[in-house]
Amino acid sequence: MLTLGIETSCDDTSIALLEDETALLANVVSSQPVHTAYGGVVPELASRAHVSNILPIFERALAEAGVDAERIDLIGVTHAPGLAGSLLVGGAFAQGLALALDRPIVPVHHLEAHIVAILLERPDLELPALALVVSGGHTLLVHVREWRAYEVIGRTRDDAAGEAFDKVAKLLGLGFPGGPAIEREARAGNPRSIDFPRPMLASRDLDFSFSGLKTAVLQWIEGRDAADVAARRADVCAAFQAAVVEVLVEKSGQAAADLRVPTVILAGGVACNGALREAMRARVDDALVVWPAPVLCTDNGAMIARTAVLRRDEAVHPGEFDIHASLPFP
Ligand code: KG4
Ligand code: ZN
Q: What is the per-residue pLDDT across 156-198, written as a single tens digit (0 to 9) for each?
A: 999 999 999 999 999 999 988 999 999 999 999 999 999 999 9
CA of 135 from ligand 2 middle (Å) equals: 6
Q: Residue 205 pLDDT more than 90?
A: yes
pTM: 0.97
CA of 11 from ligand 2 middle (Å) equals: 10
Average pLDDT over the chain, rounded to an integer? 97
Average pLDDT over residues 302-316: 98
Q: Which atom of ligand 1 is nearest to the CA of 114?
A: 1
Q: Which atom of ligand 1 is nearest to the CA of 82?
A: 6
CA of 284 from ligand 2 middle (Å) equals: 24
What pLDDT, in 10s, does the model give residues 218-239?
A: 999 999 999 999 999 999 999 9
Map out the domains of the chain with their CATH numbers.
2-116+299-320 (3.30.420.40), 126-291 (3.30.420.40)
Average pLDDT over residues 84-96: 98
Using H for helix, E for strand and C for coil, what is the string for the chain?
CEEEEEECCCCEEEEEEEECCCEEEEEEEEECHHHHHHCCCCHHHHHHHHHHHHHHHHHHHHHHHCCCHHHCCEEEEEEECCCHHHHHHHHHHHHHHHHHHCCCEEEEEHHHHHHHCHHHHCCCCCCCEEEEEECCCCEEEEEEEECCEEEEEEEECCCCHHHHHHHHHHHCCCCCCHHHHHHHHHCCCCCCCCCCCCCCCCCCCCCECCHHHHHHHHHHHHCCCHHHHHHCHHHHHHHHHHHHHHHHHHHHHHHHHHHCCCEEEEECHHHHCHHHHHHHHHHCCCCEEECCCHHHHCCCHHHHHHHHHHCHHHCECHHHCCCCCCCCCC
Q: Which residue's alpha carbon is at the smallest distance from atom 23 of ligand 1?
A: 179
Q: Which ligand is nearest to the CA of 138?
A: 1
- Residue 37 banded pLDDT, cuts 50, 70, 90: confident
CA of 179 from ligand 1 middle (Å) equals: 6
The pLDDT, as a whole number, for residue 231 is 97
- Residue 43 banded pLDDT, cuts 50, 70, 90: very high
* pLDDT-above-70 percentage for the chain: 100
Residues touching ligand 1 (Cβ under 6 Å) are: 10, 135-137, 162, 165-166, 177-180, 183, 268-270, 272-273, 298-299
Q: Which atom of ligand 1 is nearest to the CA of 136?
A: 7
Q: Which ligand is nearest to the CA of 303?
A: 2
- Residue 39 banded pLDDT, cuts 50, 70, 90: confident
The pLDDT, as a whole number, for residue 282 is 98
The pLDDT, as a whole number, for residue 36 is 85
The pLDDT, as a whole number, for residue 280 is 98
Q: Which atom of ligand 1 is nearest to the CA of 163?
A: 12
Pocket test for ligand 1, best of 159, 165, 214 (most atoms within 8 A of CB): 165
Q: Which ligand is nearest to the CA of 187?
A: 1
Q: Which ligand is nearest to the CA of 244?
A: 1
Q: Which residue's alpha carbon is at the smallest distance from atom 14 of ligand 1?
A: 179
CA of 223 from ligand 2 middle (Å) equals: 34
What pLDDT, in 10s, does the model give residues 208-223?
A: 999 999 999 999 999 9
The pLDDT, as a whole number, for residue 309 is 98
CA of 114 from ligand 2 middle (Å) equals: 6
What pLDDT, in 10s, does the model give residues 46-86?
A: 999 999 999 999 999 999 999 999 999 999 999 999 999 99
Q: Which atom of ligand 1 is nearest to the CA of 298?
A: 3
Q: Residue 40 pLDDT more than 90?
A: no
CA of 14 from ligand 1 middle (Å) equals: 15
- Residue 130 banded pLDDT, cuts 50, 70, 90: very high
